[in-house]
Structure 1
Amino acid sequence: MTHDMAKQFWNVYLGMAGKDGAHVNMSNPVDDFKARAHAGEFDKLTDDQYYRKEADAEEVASFWDYKPSEMAGIILLNALAKTDISDVEIDGIAGILADASVRTDYYTEEQECDEEGLGFSPVDGPTPFDDGAGWTPRSIYNYLNQHIYGQDAAKRAVSMLMYHHLRGNSRNIVMAGATGCGKTEIWRTLSKMYNCIRIINGPQLSCDGWKGSLKISDIFTCETKKLAEHLVLVIDESDKMMEPKVASGGTDYAKMIQNELLKVMDGDTLTFTDEKNRDTKTTINCSGVSVVLCGSFERMLQAKSESSESIGFGRREKKESVVAECTEEDLIQYGNVRREIAGRISQIVTLDTLDGDDFEKILESEMSPIQKMEEAHNVSLSIDKESRRKLASDAAKSGLGCRYIRSKLQFMLDAQMFDEPEKDTYSLYYE
């Protein structure tokens, strides 16, 4: 490894450890290198320059133990374990850390993030590891493009949210779109890169003090304090969570949930009491927490779609969203969202409904469920064009999207593997 490359690595990862960034998931530099090469970023390099960069990426990747991603703190420890450091050098490093310890007051309370928050900017500015950390909106967007088909506006909005969130500036957004359009998949994909993302099933949420499978307090108290105060809460099916649920006594439980959520979105400091030990309390500062409300919001999108068509957007030659821009008032009128919560939403993103043609393109793309299934089972799969077309069409009609495709592909493969599990090539037919 060259001296410059090594110095860049230590600057970045020691810098992250010193700025509470040890929990951030970092993608393997070899995967990043391949993605950048595929995008043509290295086309102007000579062969020698290209292979030198490739070798550098492969050498650094050994600190990941060949995993696709790992937390920065683990990577730093792996790098230390693999690096040949003499006793004299260890003594020198220990002396530097000892000097730092002398000027540090370890007895004070945990410091809040400064205005740069979770930026983790290295001392010498941008480095080749920026793409792995997702420190720029473009790098996050490019990562999503490798895994998510279409939905450009949503991917851009999410990239900006993560960029600002990692720099300590929390945001709250709404992502509205039909089931199977990729809302949750976007966040599932990002959660492999960022350890701060938590995807929650909205209808399961309940308030403290009454029964429910998941309380808002549970989300925070099961995390370390540092991580809990910098989470991205992605609430799936949030529109269903907000539908009125009035008990016989007249209490609307949906409003109670929104009251709890409002405190998080306001950035309040919340105190949670352990139900088993009432003397144990956990205090969480939510000013660094971002909230994403995902849902189909069918009434709202239907109303806006009809509005768009009435002014001429319905006649279009190419496929594009016909949903007019949704507003705070639309959330209140059609989405059962309290005005106080709607007022704290910085952006409402509407996702396109995918049709049969879209799913057929997905099946033929590099992000195809077929390819992922081949990798998972270490087999080669073939599926004829007519089966692809019908499978894509049925996926669109089902409203389940790629989940439907994955389920049917697995069913077809299992049917063949049951009698011939030793084969390495299978032909799938869908009727």
Structure 2
Amino acid sequence: MMGFRRDTNYCSFCGKPADKDRFLVAGPSNGLFICDKCIAVCQGIVEQNMTDVAPIEMDEVPTPKDFKEYLDQYVIGQDYAKKALSVAVYNHYKRMSNISKKSEVKIEKSNVLLIGPTGSGKTLLAKTLADRLKVPFAIADATTLTEAGYVGEDVENVLLKLINAADGNIAAAERGIIFIDEIDKISRKGENTSITRDVSGEGVQQALLKIIEGTVASVPPQGGRKHPNQEMLQIDTTNILFILGGAFVGLDKIIEQRISDHAMGFGSNAGQLSEQEKMDLLNQVTSDDLVKFGIIPELIGRMPIHVALKELTKEDLTRILTEPKNAIVKQFKASFEMDDLEIDFTPDALSEIADIAIKQKTGARGLRSIVEKMLMDLMYEAPSVKGKKKLTITKEIVSNKVVPAAETLLITQQTA
């Protein structure tokens, strides 16, 4: 049996005897020991080997169809966006495989720009892809970033989030995915250069250029501002996939104005278009349209793939509540089951929740908040009431946000 020893035996690795500063661990065979000092050295070697990242092998990367099928389990609707993202990510990892084989032909990185209203699934799409690939994933908000030297976060802090997501393993972070949301909020103030510094708009776009294209960036290990003589983390962004997202409110009007002189069928009715027609219109976006919106041409050139997402319909929102693997209704059911409460939702209740989300213009992002507020009193009372309980959530409960007291939901125990 293995155990700790403090006697005259010697460590089989370093040959030093046990003493007051060194204890030995006996191995399964007689006469074999290892000291605590050698254990620490071995642990360091193991940890170092664990940080090594194996080269990308295309046999291990899912096909675009596999990606799409995986996304279908977690993301409702947005079929075109799922297909485009699946192809983009697959091509990105083909590129990394090509680099590891040191091919003479260099494939350029294909970063992605997602255009769609809030709550349409931009962040979820990016995060789900990262989960499938088992690579580090970081989310950043472009509105918190400013040009270096000004109040706010430096652009390099985005990379620090990815390093932290990789538990400090820079090699793993260098093949991760970064999603930068609200990119439309840093559009420059106009097409002409302003006489004042646009440190949170065009300045951030300029700062993003290098890290998106690929460079060895210096990142402050504790975040915040960079200082002289500060030790920096070095990370190569060449193989990091960047997905930028934004609502781009008004971009459809810019596109419609450009194509209104041609027989494209949109005419001057962009404001009356269905969501599908608006998405089709946004998928015709050109670099000139984005420049007019306020995105600098250099950044557009580094985002070759543009994908539009449509606003989710009532049917989509209803399906989101129940169908995905981690659907909101499934989560609440599982949570209440731990308090011996069985809950169910009627179709009318689900429809009413979707209606509220549409009125609030929050999309899928607002669904959880609506259900959470509605069931707050029940979540407060249910754990205190012992015994099996049952409740059906109806349209009336959703509308009034009033649920019966937990005591009234007790299931009568039948005696023999």
Residues 273-312 of structure 1: CA distance to partner in whole angstroms, max 9, x if unpaired? 6736624233332221222110000111343367779843
Report the CA distance shift for 1:339/1:384 in structure 2 as closer, same or farther (over 3 A).
same
Per-residue deviation, 1:430:
1.0
Checking the alignment, whether the CA contact within 8 Å between 2:143 and 2:183 is kept in structure 1 is: yes
For the 8 Å contact 2:118–2:247, the answer to whether it is kept is yes
- The yes-or-no answer on 1:135 pairing with 2:88 is no
Q: Are residues 198 and 424 of structure 1, via their aligned partners in 2, closer, same or farther at CA, if it must alter by over 3 Å? A: farther
Alignment of 1:360 onto 2:325: no
8 Å CA contact retained: 2:111, 2:304:
yes
Letter of the 1:282 partner, please give it: L
Aligned runs of 1:14-413 on 2, under 5 Å? 119-121=56-58, 126=59, 130=60, 134-167=61-94, 168=96, 170-193=109-132, 194-212=134-152, 214-221=153-160, 223=163, 224-244=169-189, 250-253=196-199, 254-272=201-219, 275=226, 278-304=229-255, 311-312=264-265, 320-322=276-278, 323-324=280-281, 325-334=284-293, 336-367=294-325, 368-378=327-337, 379-413=341-375
Give the C-alpha shift of residue 384 in structure 1: 2.7
Compared CA separation, residues 250 and 354, structure 1 to 2 (3 A): same
What RMSD in Å do the two structures reach over aligned CA positions?
3.5
Which residue does the alignment assign to 1:38? none
Kindly state the Cα deviation for residue 118 of structure 1 after the two structures are TM-superposed.
5.0
Whole-Å separation in 2 of the counterparts to 1:269 and 1:308: 41
Give percent identity, aligned residues only: 23
Does the CA contact (< 8 Å) of 1:200 and 1:234 recur in 2? Answer: yes
Report how far residue 346 of structure 1 moved.
1.2
AA matched with 1:363 = L
Which string of whole-angstrom CA distances, capped at 9 and with x for unpartnered residues, describes residues 73-99 of structure 1? xxxxxxxxxxxxx99xxxxxxxxxxxx
Provide the rounded CA distance (Å) in 1 between the counterparts of 2:234 and 2:274.
52
- Alignment check: 8 A CA contact 1:413 1:426 kept: no
Q: Shift in Å at residue 272 of structure 1?
A: 4.4
Q: TM-score if structure 1 supplies the norm length?
A: 0.63
Greater C-alpha Rg: 2
SS at match of 1:298: coil
* Secondary structure at 2:398 match in 1: coil
- Where 2:139 maps in the other structure, the secondary structure is strand
Structure 2, gaps ≥5 residues long: 1-27, 30-47, 97-106, 164-168, 400-416
C-alpha spacing 1:269/1:320, structure 2 compared with 1 (3 Å): same
CA contact (8 A) 1:237 1:295 kept: yes
Alpha-carbon spacing, 1:278–1:307, altered in 2? closer, same or farther (3 Å): same
The one-letter amino acid paired with 1:205 is: L
Q: Which residue is 2:376 aligned to? A: 414
Give, in whole Å, the separation in 2 of the partners of 1:354 and 1:308: 25
CA positional deviation for 1:366: 4.5
Does the aligned pair in 2 maintain the 1:359–1:401 contact within 8 Å? Answer: yes
The answer to whether the 8 Å contact 1:208/1:217 transfers is: no
User: For residues 417 and 191 of structure 1, do their structure 2 counterparts lie closer, same or farther at Cα, with a shift above 3 Å needed?
Assistant: same
Classify 1:137/1:210 alpha carbon distance in 2 versus 1 (closer, same or farther; 3 Å): same
Q: Partners of 1:279 and 1:186 in 2: how far apart?
A: 37
TM-score using structure 2 length: 0.65
- What SS is found at the alignment partner of 1:235? strand
Specify the code of the residue in structure 1 equivalent to 2:372.
Answer: Q
1:232 to partner: Cα distance: 1.8
